[in-house]
Amino acid sequence: MTQIQKNLAAIKAQLPDGVELVAVSKFHPVEALQQAYDAGQRVFGESRAQELVVKFRQMPADTCFHFVGHLQRNKVRAVVPCVGMIESVDSVALLRLIDQEAARAGRSVDVLLEVHVATEAAKTGFSVDELMRNAAAGELSGFDNVRICGLMAMASFTDNMDQVAQEFDKAHEAFLRLKKGIFHDHPEFCSLSMGMTDDWPVAVKHGSTMVRIGTAIFGMRQ
Ligand SMILES: *Cc1c(COP(=O)(O)O)cnc(C)c1O
The amino acid that residue 92 corresponds to is: V
The amino acid that residue 216 corresponds to is: A
Which of 11, 21, 191, 212 is the pocket-test mutation for ligand 1 (most atoms within 8 Å of CB)?
Answer: 212
125 lines ligand 1 (CB under 6 A): no
pLDDT, one tens digit per residue, over 53-88 is: 999 999 999 999 999 999 999 999 999 999 999 999
Q: Which of 41, 69, 65 is nearest to 53 (CA)?
A: 65
Domain ranges of the chain: 3-218
pLDDT score for 222: 77
DSSP-derived letter for residue 46 is E
Q: What is the pTM of this model?
A: 0.97
Please give the sequence-ordered ranges of beta strands (E in DSSP) within the chain, or none if there are none.
20-24, 43-46, 64-67, 85-89, 109-116, 146-154, 191-193, 210-213
Question: What CATH number does domain 3-218 carry, 3.40.50.1970, 3.20.20.10, 2.60.120.380, 3.90.1410.10?
Answer: 3.20.20.10
Q: What is the pLDDT along the chain (222 residues), one digit of tens a residue?
A: 999 999 999 999 999 999 999 999 999 999 999 999 999 999 999 999 999 999 999 999 999 999 999 999 999 999 999 999 999 999 999 999 999 999 999 999 999 999 999 988 777 899 999 999 999 999 999 999 999 999 999 999 999 999 999 999 999 999 999 999 888 878 899 999 999 999 999 999 999 999 999 999 999 997
Which of 11, 22, 24 is the pocket-test mutation for ligand 1 (most atoms within 8 Å of CB)?
Answer: 24
Strand 43-46 with 64-67, pairing: parallel
Crossing angle of helices 161-181 and 128-136, in 10° steps, is: 0
Q: Which of 112, 113, 104 is nearest to 133 (CA)?
A: 113
Handedness of CA 129, 209, 25, 119 (dihedral sign): positive
